[in-house]
């Protein structure tokens, strides 16, 4: 079902492209056709990840469904956003109807659009912090109705989000969305390059640059802000280091739930922009693009406010799994087993890739035991008192995946090996 649904955006972009060409708007026709092609290529590159993504989204929706109050918070913020849009639209309408030249009007619309987008991002991330704090509490206490659950937790999360954490939310809202989108595109392109070493080197450079930015600007920071009250940069750095030290970063990189939710947000904006554009085409044909693009942005902001509730649940699940996997196991043992199995598969995949590169670099001059899964683990574990010398079978890892300290050491060792291989 999800494999079909993710192609809806591609189809819709292609249809809009045809309509633009029919209306002799060739620039926008080419732009939408390019967007459809890029969307199609991205979906093809991540098609094997969609079953796991669907599983995570189902569990996140189940978690949100058990907390009806978080949807009421989202609806309240949507009402605030609608009020702001009503005020903002007067300024936008004045710009469209002004006697300035097209270039001057476009620049004013760009400034107003940035204002609208930032306001929408701030409201979305405020909801993100509120929902993340509440979801994390539910995961810690095991159930919404648990006797240990603190009273008035929703109001406390709301108060904290709009007071002490509001500065961090506004700061992070400037950068996170753009960096996340760029990272998704580079990751999808990187997975399809093949053996072109020159192109791979260039893309790897861009990828490492974006990874550095992600370390300081990522959506998981808002969970740390909600739970621990840290500043934005420190929260983002701590969340990313937590993922890397526990190996959950491999699972987060494999998951496409954020991209799927973004597709829904973009599709909602496109439908809004199309409806407004058709109405404007009938009334004022010379203002179709201005009105349509503005309406599309407004639609994306509103749909994004609804989508962020599910995204908050997803991020909270990953943070909770990285900090204490037993909490996820207590909440849903079957889901915990599926996450652990997928994590094990991703770690095996990374180990195999590092092993292949090592053997290619040394032209099999390295002894085979160092390139085998058993030997790779043995190589890193030798001399460590915390693991038995005879445990050389990689199949032992799934039974140990809930051991947080051991998992961190395993992943740290494998990551160090991978970095050495790349540098060599």
Residue extents of the structural domains in the chain: 1-45, 49-175+217-331, 335-423
Q: Are 84 and 36 in contact (CB under 8 A)?
A: no
Q: What is the pLDDT of residues 14-71, one digit of tens each?
A: 998 998 888 777 888 898 999 999 889 888 888 888 889 999 999 999 888 888 888 8
Whole-angstrom distance, CA of residue 234 vs CA of residue 211: 16
Task: Please name the residue ranges forming H helices in 217-287.
Answer: 221-228, 232-246, 248-254, 257-283
- Which residue, 254, 252, 247, 250, is CA-closest to 403? 247
d(CA 49, CA 45): 9
pLDDT tens-digit map of 233-264? 788 788 888 888 888 888 888 888 888 898 88
What confidence score (pLDDT) does residue 214 get?
A: 56
Angstrom CA distances, 57 to 1, 13, 70, 309, 312, stand at 13, 24, 16, 11, 11
Give the model's confidence band at 211: pLDDT under 50 very low, under 70 low, under 90 confident, else very high.
low
Task: For 67-103, write each residue's pLDDT tens digit.
Answer: 888 888 888 998 998 888 888 888 777 776 665 556 6
How buried is 1 (Cβ within 10 angstroms: 0-12 exposed, 13-18 middle, 19+ buried)? exposed
Average pLDDT over residues 125-145: 84
414 three-class SS: helix
pTM of the model: 0.73
Handedness of CA 111, 112, 117, 119 (dihedral sign): positive
Nearest partner of 380 among 351, 417, 408, 352, judged by Cα: 417
User: What is the per-residue pLDDT for 271?
Assistant: 92
Q: What share of the chain is helix, strand, coil (3-state, %, to 5)?
A: 85, 0, 15
Chain centroid offset of residue 111 CA: 26
pLDDT score, position 372: 42
End-to-end CA distance of the chain: 44
């Amino acid at each position: 079902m999800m494999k079909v649904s993710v192609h809806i955006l591609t189809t819709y972009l292609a249809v809009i492209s045809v309509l633009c060409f029919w209306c002799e708007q060739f620039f926008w026709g080419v732009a939408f056709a390019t967007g459809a092609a890029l969307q199609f290529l991205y979906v093809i590159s991540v098609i094997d990840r969609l079953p796991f993504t669907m599983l995570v989204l189902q569990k996140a929706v189940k978690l949100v469904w058990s907390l009806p109050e978080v949807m009421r918070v989202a609806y309240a913020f949507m009402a605030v956003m609608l009020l702001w849009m009503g005020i903002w639209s007067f300024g936008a309408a004045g710009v469209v109807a002004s006697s300035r030249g097209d270039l001057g009007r476009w620049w004013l619309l760009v400034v107003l659009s940035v204002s609208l987008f930032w306001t929408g991002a701030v409201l979305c991330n405020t909801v993100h912090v509120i929902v993340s704090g509440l979801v994390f509490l539910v995961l810690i206490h095991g159930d919404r109705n648990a006797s240990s659950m603190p009273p008035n937790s929703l109001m406390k999360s709301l108060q904290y989000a709009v007071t002490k954490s509001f500065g961090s939310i506004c700061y992070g809202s400037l950068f996170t969305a753009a960096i996340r989108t760029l990272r998704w595109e580079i990751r999808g392109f990187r997975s399809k390059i093949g053996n072109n070493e020159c192109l791979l080197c260039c893309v790897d450079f861009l990828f490492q640059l974006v990874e550095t930015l992600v370390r300081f600007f990522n959506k998981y920071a808002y969970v740390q802000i909600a739970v621990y009250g840290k500043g934005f940069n420190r929260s983002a750095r701590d969340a990313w280091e937590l993922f890397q030290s526990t190996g959950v970063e491999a699972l987060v990189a494999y998951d496409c739930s954020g991209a799927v939710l973004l597709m829904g947000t973009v599709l909602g904006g496109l439908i809004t922009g199309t409806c407004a554009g058709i109405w404007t085409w009938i009334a004022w044909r010379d203002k179709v693009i201005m009105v349509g693009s503005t309406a599309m942005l407004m639609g994306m902001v509103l749909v994004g406010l609804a989508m962020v509730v599910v995204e908050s649940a997803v991020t909270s699940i990953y943070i909770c799994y990285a900090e204490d996997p037993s909490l996820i196991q207590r909440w849903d043992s079957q889901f915990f087993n599926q996450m652990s199995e997928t994590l094990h598969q991703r770690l095996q995949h990374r180990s195999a890739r590092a092993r292949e590169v090592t053997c290619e670099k040394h032209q099999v001059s390295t002894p085979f035991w160092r390139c085998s899964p058993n030997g790779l683990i043995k190589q890193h574990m030798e001399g460590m008192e915390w693991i038995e010398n005879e445990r050389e079978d990689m199949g032992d890892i799934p039974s140990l995946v809930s051991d947080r300290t051991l998992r961190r050491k395993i992943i740290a060792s494998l990551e160090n090996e991978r970095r050495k291989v790349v540098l060599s």
